[in-house]
Amino acid sequence: MSMRDAAEQYLELRRSLGYAMAGSGRMLLDFASMLDSTGQRAITIEAALAWATENKAATPGHWRARLSVARGFARHLNTLGPASQIIPQDLIPAPVRRKPPYLYPADEIAALVHAAGLITTPAAAAGMQAVVSLIAASGLRLGEALGLDRDHVSLRDGVLMVTGKNGQARMVPLHPSTVTMLARYAARRDQLCPQASPAFFVTRAGRRMQQRWVDETFARLLALAGIAAPPGRRRPRIHDLRHTFAVETVAGWYRDGRDVQAHMPLLSVFLGHSGPEATYWYLEAAPALLSQAAARLEPGSQPHDQRGGTAAGRPS
How confident is the model at residue 60, as a pLDDT?
Answer: 86
Q: Is 102-316 assigned to CATH 1.10.443.10?
A: yes
Mean pLDDT of 260-267: 82
State how far the alpha carbon of 122 is from the alpha carbons of 92, 114, 125, 188, 193, in Å.
48, 13, 5, 9, 10
Mean pLDDT of 136-148: 95
Q: How confident is the model at residue 239 (pLDDT cuts 50, 70, 90)?
A: very high
Mean pLDDT of 107-135: 97
How confident is the model at residue 79, as a pLDDT?
Answer: 83
Residues whose CB is less than 8 angstroms from the CB of residue 184 and which lie 6 or more positions away in sequence, other chains included: none
State yes or no: pLDDT of 301 exceeds 80. no
> Which stretch of 63-67, 217-221, 222-226 has the lowest confidence by average pLDDT?
63-67
Query: Given 64, 71, 141, 189, which residue is catalytic?
Result: 141
State yes or no: pLDDT of 294 exceeds 90. no
**Residue 56 a catalytic site member:** no
Mean pLDDT of 123-146: 96
> Which stretch of 15-24, 104-113, 155-164, 281-290 has the lowest confidence by average pLDDT?
281-290
Query: Per-residue pLDDT tens for 73-84?
Result: 999 998 887 788
Q: How confident is the model at residue 152 (pLDDT cuts 50, 70, 90)?
A: very high
Query: Given 102, 104, 282, 314, which residue is catalytic?
Result: 282
**Residue 98 a catalytic site member:** no
State yes or no: pLDDT of 269 exceeds 60. yes
**Residue 141 a catalytic site member:** yes
What's the pTM? 0.67
Query: Given 242, 255, 263, 307, which residue is catalytic?
Result: 242
**Residue 175 a catalytic site member:** no
State yes or no: pLDDT of 290 exceeds 60. no
**Residue 97 a catalytic site member:** no
State yes or no: pLDDT of 293 exceeds 60. no
Mean pLDDT of the residues in the chain: 85
Query: Given 4, 64, 152, 273, which residue is catalytic?
Result: 273
State yes or no: pLDDT of 86 exceeds 70. yes
Query: Given 62, 76, 150, 165, which residue is catalytic?
Result: 165
State yes or no: pLDDT of 229 exceeds 90. no
Mean pLDDT of 109-130: 97
How confident is the model at residue 175, as a pLDDT?
Answer: 95
How confident is the model at residue 298, as a pLDDT?
Answer: 53
**Residue 282 a catalytic site member:** yes
How confident is the model at residue 166, as a pLDDT?
Answer: 72
